[in-house]
Every structure is written in C-alpha cells, then in structure tokens.
Amino acid sequence: MWLSEVMLQQTTVAMVIPRFRRFLERWPTIEALAAAPPEEVLSEWAGLGYYARARNLIACAREVAALGAFPTSEAELRKLPGLGAYTAAAIAAIAFGEAATVVDTNVERVIARLHAIERPSAEARAEIRTYAEALTPADRPGDHAQAMMDLGATICRPKKPACPACPLADDCLAFASGEPERFPARKARRERPHRHGVAYWTERDGAVWLVRRPAKGLLGGMAALPGPEWSAERSSARSFATVHHGFTHFTLDLHLVERAEPAGGDGWWQPLDRIGEAGLPTLYRRAVEAGIAEETLAA
C-alpha cells in the first residue's frame, strides 16, 4: 500500500503498474529496500518523476526497518518521511482498517459536487474535509476510501461526469443544478516562469560523460549530464541541440554544449549503447537522445 501510494502521486496508473512490480521483485521486503544503495533506488525510479519521493522512500524504509514494522495509526504514520495527510490516511484505512478519512483530488471533487461547493478545492479544503469525515464509516473504511476515489476517477470526472450512473446522484446538489461541471470552480492558472540550462556533452569512444546531481534539490541524486545551475538568462555558449521540458513550477530549455574534457568532478563514462542502464531522469534521457541524434546527423 505504501509503495503504490507513493508511486501513484503525480504519476499515471498505466506507468506505475509495471514499475511497481519490478520494484517489488528487486526489493521484496522493507529491510531489503532499507539496505539498498540510494543511487540504485534513484536509478530504478528514473522516469517516474518527482524524485523527492524516491529519496523519502529510502528514508522511510530505513526508519520503518529500525522500528521493526510500520505504525498502524494515521497519527504515527504521519511521522514517517514523505507521508503526508493523504498517504498516511490511505495506508491507515486500507492496510490497517482505521476509520481514517482519505481525501485525494478525486474525493475533493465528489464532495464539492455533492454539496455544490463553488470555490476552488484548494480554498475549500477544510469544509470538504468536514463533509468527508461525516461520510467515513467505522466499518470497512478502506473499502469506502477506495470506492470514493474510484467514483471520482471513473464517474464524477472533471469533464463529462456520468451523473446518471452515480450512486450519489439523488443527493447531489451539483447534479440537481444541471451544471455539475461548474463545481468546484477551477483555480486560476499562473503562468510558469521560464529558465535556461546548459548540459555539457563530452563523448569519447562511444561513451558520454555523466555525473550525479547533488543529493538535495530538483532531481537530487539522479544521474545527469554535467552543467551549471539553471537561470532565467540564456548562456552565451553555443549549443548544438535544445530540449524543452516542463516542471511543476517552471519550464526549462536545456541547451547541449559540446565540451572536449569532462566537467563536473566525479563522474563516469556511460556507453551510449547502454544508456538505458544509467537511470537518467526524463529531462536528461531526452537530452542524451537529442545529443545522439545530432551526432548521427553530423556524421
């Protein structure tokens, strides 16, 4: 439950299923995961995004291994690294049968429509939680939590909700209004700032020079092409390829610049025909693919 909930944060079910199975095959117990080298876990996580989750996963595994078992209450689960209100409640309810109220974005939408809450969910979370708590049963709270989440994911969808098929339709104020999609109101989108970065491309004997990013910060601990910090200003260095990438809070143009000698301190030569084994996050995997493509065209 813990692993699946962490993996499913901001990642699609279709992508998670095969990765979840592979992860469990490699580290079948909490003790095995706790003993794993962090770089191996981060490499296995590559492509799932939001890499702070992987770092918290390692820290949590080590703490649980030291405790001897997972805590069984929502309050104690909240004390573990990386377990926020939703994840702790989901594990407590589904794995341990505690009458914890589980509220994800799907549940927020169901509750907001049921009570015709017009404000954006982010502004009405306290009110939504109060209503959700009133619905949470003492009996089979895990089944209730999963039913509510699935209701929001499959019936009470953001667009074109299947209201006639909804078991809550008779009591739903949004359905009664005739405009269920109006609830809850959408939060106004802020324009994301744009940044530029440089990635040094040093190729030798069919291999490219890679480094590991600092443990803290964005893409912390992940394999990467070396380069300076990203900034709002574009570097004057001449690039031969550019990769555009969107993060949650900003967009980035990563410019590939050829360099004769390796940069970035400690690193390693990664054979290009085994680049898939490097554990590159999506940004740098795409950058390497762009570098290979440009080198091929030049040849």
Q: How do residues 58-109 score in pLDDT, each as one tens digit?
A: 999 999 999 999 999 999 999 999 999 999 999 999 999 999 999 999 999 9
Range in 8-12, 94-98, 130-134 with the lowest mean pLDDT: 8-12
Tokens of 132: 């959700």
- Amino acid 297: pLDDT: 76
Q: How many CB atoms lie within 10 A of CB 106?
A: 19
Mean pLDDT over residues 125-130, rounded? 97
- Amino acid 74: pLDDT: 97
Tokens of 68: 């001897």
The HSE-up count of residue 103 (CA atoms within 13 Å, CB side) is 22
Q: Are 108 and 121 in contact (CB under 8 A)?
A: yes
Q: Kindly list the catalytic residues.
A: 5
The DSSP secondary-structure symbol of 231 reads: B
Q: What's the whole-model pTM score?
A: 0.82
- Flag whether pLDDT at 299 surpasses 70: no
